[in-house]
Amino acid sequence: MNRIDKLLAAMTLEEKIGQLNMIAAGYAITGPVLASGTEEDIRAGRIGSLLNLWGSANVNALQQIAVHNTRLGIPLLIGFDVVHGHKTIFPIPLAEAASFDPLLWEQSAREAAIEATADGVNLVFAPMLDITRDPRWGRIAEGPGEDPWVGEQFAKAKVRGFQDAGSAQGLTDARAVAATAKHFCAYGAALAGRDYASADVSDRQLLEIYLPPFAAAVTAGCAAIMPAFHDIDGVPMTAHVPLLQDWLRRKAGFEGVIISDYNAIAELLHHGIAADLAEAAASALQAGVDIDMMGGAYSQGLPAALARGLVSIEAIDAAVRRVLSLKERLGLFEDPFRRGSAGAPACRASMARRELAREAGRRSIVLLTNDGTLPLSRNLRHIALIGPLADARAEMLGPWALAGNAANAVTIQEGLAAALPNAEIAFAPGVTIAGDDTSGVAAALEIGRTAEIIILCLGEAAAMSGEAASRANPGLPGAQHALANAILGLGKPVVTLISSGRPLMISKIAAGTKALLATWFLGVEAGHAIADVLTGKFNPAGKLPVTWPREVGQVPIFYAERPSGRPANPDDPYTSKYLDMPVTPLFFFGHGLSYSRFSMSNLRADKAEFRRADELIIELDVLNEGPSAGEETIFLFARDLVASVARPLLELKGTCKIALAPRESGTVHFRLAAEALAFPGRDLARVFEPGEFLLLVGPSADPRGLLKLKVRALPG
């Protein structure tokens, strides 16, 4: 018998259920806090894993109890939300997605894993892979944005970063953590952008949009998956047999651990699909949920469910086996203390980590508009820094920074002061982030009047995005519009920075400002990263991973729309558009300017005709027209012109980066597997249909900037 068989044979029912029970240690609060008797329960074998606990001493104290003071000595899983960094907080995932840089995505996950493991953590609740097209939903901040292909690349990079410490030891390496892909799935489609609300999505949407990032995570070897809180079409994800069992376990071949979201099994009662905890526990277990996070539903409900014949002991054993296997994969049986025994990360390593955070920060910034005001002239002497986000240290960290320390964050004010030591930078917040008081506007106007340029720092608070942070009006909160109007009314050049976890509705401000930047929540190095971009020390290269609407009434808005029978035509009223605003977004998916200007030409492919097994090499020439060295991200989209099911107008199939000196030109190469042009047919089975395809390549999803080339798929 192997170790797991032996343990299973020796375990009581209570101990088995204990392995399926995850309890919050109460250090960090990410949901309703329940009463604890944690140590006692660990001792009795009633707890198999903990969350919200970090710090090697804290972890080791409880791990000691599990290993030395329980009957079977099974070590604990220690789970933590390491969504965008652990101690060194990196840009929020939506921001980091804007870098379109899988290596960076991997590196920041790797560094976060090094810090988290030093703190005793062996399981992270990340990456968050929810595709969403609705900026009302606050959790848009936590994921890779609107596009499934980007979601796939993000999934692979993050899983590698967390789980692969670069040694042959795999997940047993003391610097590797188990990743949890969440929230499975279509959570980003929640009704009206309201967190925890129902989603009504078609099977086609699941296959085309919401499942691919999770499939990529599974292929990358992701250790765990967390079902979402919500229901799809009446079936809560925590009890969704077709998606968890049929798709995830059987079709995608996922053999890892499924961990419920916080209290989600007990919430099956609120969903109205279970009458008591026994039914709730049975539904979740039957769907394949192995660990009950904070629901108490398995510990309280499974014994009754077993007695009533709602579940079998074999199903319980199978779940326990998966949990024990994960503990084994993590090397916990050999050495439960290997994570967290290395002591504090070396100072030099933490400096390098901050450098990476700065690099990630500046690569995440998206220059949305610029009339040439940026980069800031070196001759500037009088700058007015205005707005409630200019000196908002804690906000810079963003919504998931449980182990982060706000005191370590660099504000925009500090970043600018360090970058421009010879300029006088006057500061006035004008208003608070969400308050109504406009009495500070006068002081802001005062410093604005005498300045050569105004840098206006607007946005939302970190807690206004992330979980439970849906906004029906995702614009500038409080009196910030009044402040912006007053400042723009001065007639001075204004550069506006938007700190936010989502695209905010800022059409009017965008029109009135000389330059506009999405500066998201960039983490500990926010101020330096922003200053690097404003001063031109770093030439911005970020691109929007999400379409930026003009107004919330356009939501959901995304680039991969299907063609209408009556495409929008300004001269024809009976076409697909609005009476009161343009149908186009404020900024397209992929939009992002540079201080360089890039032109693209000569799109070509190595084959005009291809078959399913072929690969196409697609190339185009790019010229940096100047004036600075810069980097451009180029997007390859495809459109299937005639198919059995109407295909999106644009579908992302690849991105490519090129760095060029002024006046330098170069060639970018995409490799496109023809298989990537297959899609779920009318019966949802994957088909590759012969016929014409349009390849569209350019700097964003704005159709006006795309080069086009027709190619033909042949049968077979």
Cα–Cα distance for residue pair 75/152, rounded to 1 Å: 33
Of positions 42, 66, 76, 81, contacts ligand BGC by CB under 6 A: 81
Distance of closest approach, residue 541 Cβ to ligand BGC, in angstroms: 30
Q: Which is nearer to ligand BGC, 398 or 549 (CB)?
A: 398
Distance of closest approach, residue 133 Cβ to ligand BGC, in angstroms: 19
Distance of closest approach, residue 238 Cβ to ligand BGC, in angstroms: 12
Distance of closest approach, residue 190 Cβ to ligand BGC, in angstroms: 12
Of positions 54, 210, 247, 262, contacts ligand BGC by CB under 6 A: 262
Residues 31-50 that bind ligand BGC (CB under 6 A): 31
Q: How is residue 185 written in tokens?
A: 């799935």
Decide if residue 587 touches ligand BGC (CB under 6 A): no
Cα–Cα distance for residue pair 405/409, rounded to 1 Å: 7
Q: Which is nearer to ligand BGC, 125 or 154 (CB)?
A: 125
**Torsion (CA) 65, 70, 75, 81 in degrees, nearest 10:** -60
Decide if residue 261 touches ligand BGC (CB under 6 A): yes
Distance of closest approach, residue 257 Cβ to ligand BGC, in angstroms: 14
Q: How is residue 232 written in tokens?
A: 């799809």
Q: Which is nearer to ligand BGC, 259 or 319 (CB)?
A: 259
CA distances from 472 to 477, 505, 679 (A): 11, 11, 34
CA distances from 704 to 195, 370, 548, 591 (A): 35, 19, 17, 12
Residues 513-532 that bind ligand BGC (CB under 6 A): none
Strand, coil or helix: 5: helix
Each residue 122-151 as x (binds ligand BGC by CB under 6 A) or -, in order, gives ---x--------------------------
Phi, psi of 79 (to 5 degrees): -100, 145
Distance of closest approach, residue 121 Cβ to ligand BGC, in angstroms: 12
Distance of closest approach, residue 14 Cβ to ligand BGC, in angstroms: 25
Q: Which is nearer to ligand BGC, 31 or 170 (CB)?
A: 31
Please tell me what DSSP assigns to residue 246.
I
Q: Which is nearer to ligand BGC, 259 or 458 (CB)?
A: 259
Distance of closest approach, residue 668 Cβ to ligand BGC, in angstroms: 37
**In the complex, residue closest to ligand BGC by CB:** 30
Decide if residue 467 touches ligand BGC (CB under 6 A): yes
Burial 23-51 (b: 16+ CB within 10 A, else e): bbbeeeebbeeeeeebeebbeebbbbbbb
Say how many residues touch ligand BGC, by CB under 6 A: 9
Q: Are 133 and 188 in contact (CB under 8 A)?
A: yes
Cα–Cα distance for residue pair 168/359, rounded to 1 Å: 29
Cα–Cα distance for residue pair 206/119, rounded to 1 Å: 37
Decide if residue 558 touches ligand BGC (CB under 6 A): no
Q: Which is nearer to ligand BGC, 316 or 401 (CB)?
A: 401
Give the other-Cβ count within 10 Å of 138's Cβ: 24
Decide if residue 182 touches ligand BGC (CB under 6 A): yes
Q: Which is nearer to ligand BGC, 164 or 467 (CB)?
A: 467
Q: Are 546 and 135 in contact (CB under 8 A)?
A: yes
CA 67 to chain centre: 35
Cα–Cα distance for residue pair 453/582, rounded to 1 Å: 32
Q: Which is nearer to ligand BGC, 30 or 554 (CB)?
A: 30
Give the other-Cβ count within 10 Å of 309's Cβ: 8
Q: Which is nearer to ligand BGC, 467 or 640 (CB)?
A: 467
Q: Which is nearer to ligand BGC, 61 or 468 (CB)?
A: 468
Distance of closest approach, residue 95 Cβ to ligand BGC, in angstroms: 18
CA distances from 134 to 26, 36, 236 (A): 32, 37, 21
Cα–Cα distance for residue pair 370/226, rounded to 1 Å: 41
Q: Which among 418, 419, 436, 439 is positioned nearest to 428, based on CA atoms?
A: 439
Element (H, E) at 370: strand 366-370
CA 447 to chain centre: 38
Cα–Cα distance for residue pair 430/340, rounded to 1 Å: 45
Distance of closest approach, residue 230 Cβ to ligand BGC, in angstroms: 10
Cα within 13 Å of Cα(520), Cβ side: 40
Distance of closest approach, residue 71 Cβ to ligand BGC, in angstroms: 29
First to last CA, the chain: 49
Active-site annotation holds for 614: no
Q: Which is nearer to ligand BGC, 182 or 362 (CB)?
A: 182
Q: Which is nearer to ligand BGC, 83 or 376 (CB)?
A: 83
Q: Which among 127, 48, 47, 37 is positioned nearest to 81, based on CA atoms?
A: 127
What amino acid is encoded at 425 in this protein?
I
Strand, coil or helix: 305: helix
Strand, coil or helix: 635: strand
Cα–Cα distance for residue pair 152/273, rounded to 1 Å: 32
Decide if residue 158 touches ligand BGC (CB under 6 A): no
Q: Which among 700, 74, 192, 136 is positioned nearest to 460, based on CA atoms?
A: 136
Cα–Cα distance for residue pair 356/331, rounded to 1 Å: 29
Given 119, 164, 231, 261, the catalytic residue: 261
Decide if residue 208 touches ligand BGC (CB under 6 A): no
Element (H, E) at 657: strand 651-660
CA distances from 645 to 47, 130, 202, 632, 678 (A): 50, 25, 14, 34, 11
Distance of closest approach, residue 11 Cβ to ligand BGC, in angstroms: 26
Of positions 19, 30, 132, 513, contacts ligand BGC by CB under 6 A: 30
Distance of closest approach, residue 182 Cβ to ligand BGC, in angstroms: 6
Cα–Cα distance for residue pair 148/703, rounded to 1 Å: 20
What amino acid is encoded at 166 in this protein?
G
Q: Which is nearer to ligand BGC, 368 or 469 (CB)?
A: 469
Footprint of ligand BGC (CB under 6 A): 30-31, 51, 81, 125, 182, 261-262, 467
Question: Which sequence positions are flagged as catalytic?
Answer: 261
